[in-house]
Structure 1
Amino acid sequence: MERTFAMIKPDGVQRGLISDILKRYESKGLKIVAMKLMQISEEMARKHYAKHLNKDFFPELIRFITSGPVVALVLEGDNAIEVVRKLNGETNPQKASLGTIRGDFGISKTKNIVHGSDSKESAEREIQLFFSESEILSYERAIDEWL
């Protein structure tokens, strides 16, 4: 089983889309092994988006991600990184397919509802940034044998 990091961004929380987004992840067979509602500090945001530091949109990105609560998640499943990225859709909601989270709910490239790790290395880094080992659970679901 693979683990990945996902986040429901402030626009998803403010628009009341948490349950709709969680339902999509769970309906696809992904297991939530860690989840918390939190306010991201500027320091944490800068660490999370460090690869975008020198890009023009970095200040706007930091302002947005720290503007309200987010839901941080660790999701587990077969090919979880790829599955989450496909469920999320293209980064730009105008290019994202209908049926994806961003295609259905996203407004702009910055206000695009969700984040998902783009690689195994990113997933490991982001999970460690947002969660301690003790916050990540390991458990069996009755449905796991069917997935």
Structure 2
Amino acid sequence: MEKTFFIIKPDGVKRGLVGQVLQRIEQRGFQLEKLELRPAPSSELVDQHYEALVDKAFYPLIRDFMTSGPIVVGVISGPQVISCWRKMMGATRPEEALPGTIRGDFAQAPQGDETIQNIVHGSDSPESAAREIALWFGEK
């Protein structure tokens, strides 16, 4: 059974969307294997999570956003869960996300210099899922 890691980001928690996101996961038939509400993560943990982006000019905005409030982290499993969850999330940029996706239904387009606040994160490959699960939950 395939597993993936997900985050409900600070904007999703702040706006009270946790239940709706989890409901979509369960309605799709995926199993919640781990689920934790966490206080705002440290800059160091966020830097490790987004290690491929830390050298980008826009990265400080992401770090500030991701450390701005509580998050929900979890692991879900099911057939083709990585690709399916990514489709359920929708396009990264809210203005490009289709209706019916989490981002298309709930994310708000950035205003000016705001970073993208797009409700959720999901691993993009089995390797990323394993790395992110180990990073956030301390296991393989």
Please give the TM-score of this superposition, normalised by the length of structure 2: 0.92
- Separation in structure 1 between the aligned mates of residue 57 and residue 88 of structure 2, nearest angstrom: 27
- Separation in structure 2 between the aligned mates of residue 129 and residue 99 of structure 1, nearest angstrom: 30
Q: Secondary structure at the match of 1:74?
A: strand
- Separation in structure 1 between the aligned mates of residue 5 and residue 116 of structure 2, nearest angstrom: 18
Q: Aligned residue for 1:127?
A: 133
Identity of aligned residues (%): 48
Q: Aligned residue for 1:103?
A: 104
Per-residue deviation at 1:132?
Answer: 3.2
- Separation in structure 2 between the aligned mates of residue 46 and residue 53 of structure 1, nearest angstrom: 6
Q: Aligned residue for 1:116?
A: 122
- Corresponding pairs, count: 134
Structure 2 unaligned regions, length at least 5: 110-114
Q: Secondary structure at the match of 2:94?
A: coil
**Which residue identity does 1:21 align to in structure 2?**
V
- Separation in structure 2 between the aligned mates of residue 6 and residue 31 of structure 1, nearest angstrom: 13
- Separation in structure 2 between the aligned mates of residue 17 and residue 45 of structure 1, nearest angstrom: 21
Q: Aligned residue for 2:112?
A: none
Q: Secondary structure at the match of 1:94?
A: helix
The within-5 A match list for 1:25-44 is: 25-39=25-39, 40-44=41-45
Does residue 19 (structure 1) correspond to residue 19 (structure 2)? The answer is yes
Q: Aligned residue for 1:145?
A: none
**Which residue identity does 1:58 align to in structure 2?**
Y
Q: Secondary structure at the match of 1:67?
A: coil
State the Cα deviation string for residues 41-73 of structure 1 (Å, max 9, x = none). 111000001100111210000000000000001
Does residue 7 (structure 1) correspond to residue 7 (structure 2)? The answer is yes
**TM superposition outliers: structure 1 runs of 4+ over 3 Å:** none
When structure 1 is superposed on structure 2, of 109-118 and 95-104 the one drifting more is: 109-118
Please give the TM-score of this superposition, normalised by the length of structure 1: 0.88
Q: Secondary structure at the match of 1:50?
A: coil
State the Cα deviation string for residues 67-91 of structure 1 (Å, max 9, x = none). 0000001000001101110110000
Structure 1 unaligned regions, length at least 5: 137-147
- Separation in structure 2 between the aligned mates of residue 77 and residue 127 of structure 1, nearest angstrom: 16
